[in-house]
Structure 1
Amino acid sequence: MTRQVEFYFDFGSPYSYLAYKELPRVAQRTGAQIAWRPILLGGIFKATGNHSPAEIPAKGRWSRTDTARWSRRYGANLQQNPYFPINTLALMRAATGFQLRDEAAFHRYVDAIFAAMWEQQRNLNDPAEIAAVLAAAGFDPREVLSMIEDPAVKEALKQATEAAVARGVFGAPSFFVGDELFWGNDRLLFVEEALAG
C-alpha cells in the first residue's frame, strides 16, 4: 500500500514554500504520495487564536534568519518578499478551483504562485501583478478571476479550512501521515520517519 502525506499550505507562509521545495524529495525517498491541501491560513489563525510570526517583532526578525537557513539547507531560493504580509484569499481560492478542475493546471499554478511570492518578490496584493504572473504562466487571468468568484470554489476553500481546524491544524505548513499531525517544515524529518516506518 502506498503511503500518503497530506500537505496543508498557504502561499503566504514562507515555511510552506520551504516545505513545498523539500516535501517532493521526502516523498520520492519514501515512495509516498502527496495529497495537496490548500487552506486559508488567516482563517486558521482566526479559528485557533494563533498569529503570524510577523506580528511579533522579535519573532519576525528571527524568522527571516531562520528561513534563510532552511533555504540554504534545501537548496531553495527563498527571497524575503518586501510586500509581506500578503492577503492570500484570492490566491488560495484559485488553488482550490484549479485542484477541483484540473490537476495539471493546479500544479502549474502552485509552482507559479510560490515562485512569484518567495523567489521573484512580486507584489501579490496587486491584482494587476497577479494577472501578469498568471499570464506568464499560461493562464487567462479573466478565467481565473471568474473561477475564484464561483460560490462552489469559495465554499470548498472554507470547508477545507474548517476541516483542517477540526483535525487540529493551527498553522502552515502542516502535514498528516495517517492521523498523526506534524507542524512546520522542520518536522519533515519526522514526517519522513513516519512514512518510512
Structure 2
Amino acid sequence: MSKSVDFYYDFVSSASYVAYKRLPEMIKAAGGTIHWKPIVLGGVFKAVGNSGPANIAAKGKWMFEDLERITKRHGIAFSVNPKFPLNTVMALRGAIAAEKLGDDVLNPYMESMFAGAWANDDDISDPKVVMELMDNAGLPAQEIANMVQDQAIKDELRANTEEAVERGAFGAPTFFVNGEMHWGQDRLDDVMSALDKKG
C-alpha cells in the first residue's frame, strides 16, 4: 500500500487552509508524501450540484466561528477574509507552475497564497496582489506569471477539477489514500489511519 495522500484543495476554501496547516507535518512524521491537487472548487460545485456553506447564512456563520475555535486550538493564524468569496483561478494555476519549479518554490508559494487568503486578508483575486505576495516571498514572480498563461497549465487545473469530480469529490479539502476518500479538515485522523493501513 502506498503511503501517499492526494490532497485536493482550493485557496478559496478556509477548510483547505486549516488542513494545509496541519496535515503536512502529520504525513511527514508518518513517512508519507502528499500529492498536491489544486482544483477550482466552484467547478466541482457546479458539476455535482453543490454550493458553499457560506451561501447559507446560518451555516456560514457557524462555519467561520467553528474555524476560529479550531485554528485557535492549533495555534494557526486565521481571519475571515472580507473579500470572500475569492476568485482563485490565477493563484491555483500559479500553484501548478510553482510545483513544476520544485518544492523550494511550491512550499513558500502555497504558504503565501493560503496565508494571504486566510490570515492576512489579502485579495488574491487580484493578479497584482498575487504578484506582490510572490515578490514578498522571494519567489520568481514573473516566471510563474508567464507560466500560468500556458495552455498546458490551464488544462492541468481543469483536469484536476474533473478528476476530483470523477473520483467522487463534492467539496474541499478532499483526500484520497489508496483509493479511499475522506472529506474535510476535521477528518485528518481518518486520513492518517488510512495511511497506516497495511495491505
* Deviation of 1:100 (Å): 2.9
* Deviation of 1:196 (Å): 2.1
Partner of residue 115, structure 1: 115
Partner of residue 30, structure 1: 30
Residues 29 and 124 from structure 1, CA distance in 2 versus in 1: closer, same or farther, beyond 3 angstroms? same
Partner of residue 169, structure 1: 169
Letter of the aligned partner of 2:190 in structure 1? F
Partner of residue 125, structure 2: 125
Moved more, 123-132 or 76-85: 123-132
- For residues 10-69 of structure 1, the C-alpha deviation after alignment (integer angstroms, 9 at most, x for no partner) is 111000000001102321332221111111111111111111111111111011111112
Distance in 1 (CA, whole Å) between partners of 2:105 and 2:159 is: 22
Letter of the aligned partner of 1:108 in structure 2? P
Moved over 6 A (4+): none
Partner of residue 188, structure 2: 188
Distance in 2 (CA, whole Å) between partners of 1:146 and 1:103 is: 19
* Deviation of 1:139 (Å): 2.7
Partner of residue 95, structure 2: 95
Distance in 2 (CA, whole Å) between partners of 1:34 and 1:13 is: 18
Partner of residue 148, structure 1: 148
Partner of residue 57, structure 2: 57
Alignment of 1:70-89 (within 5 A): 70-89=70-89
* Deviation of 1:140 (Å): 4.2
Distance in 1 (CA, whole Å) between partners of 2:154 and 2:127 is: 18
Q: Secondary structure at the match of 1:6?
A: strand
Moved more, 143-152 or 164-173: 143-152
Q: Could you state the TM-score of these two structures normalised by the residue count of structure 2?
A: 0.93
Q: Which runs of 5+ in 2 are unaligned?
A: none
- For residues 87-112 of structure 1, the C-alpha deviation after alignment (integer angstroms, 9 at most, x for no partner) is 01111111112223433211221111
* Deviation of 1:2 (Å): 5.5
Q: Is the 8 A contact 1:7 1:35 kept in 2?
A: yes
Q: Is the 8 A contact 2:98 2:105 kept in 1?
A: yes
Distance in 1 (CA, whole Å) between partners of 2:104 and 2:58 is: 40
Q: Is the 8 A contact 1:2 1:33 kept in 2?
A: no
Partner of residue 8, structure 2: 8
* Deviation of 1:79 (Å): 1.1
Distance in 2 (CA, whole Å) between partners of 1:127 and 1:25 is: 30
Aligned-residue sequence identity (percent) comes to 42
CA-based RMSD of the aligned residues comes to: 1.5
Moved more, 174-183 or 129-138: 129-138
Q: Is the 8 A contact 2:21 2:76 kept in 1?
A: yes
Letter of the aligned partner of 1:16 in structure 2? S
Q: Could you state the TM-score of these two structures normalised by the residue count of structure 1?
A: 0.94
Moved more, 138-147 or 6-15: 138-147
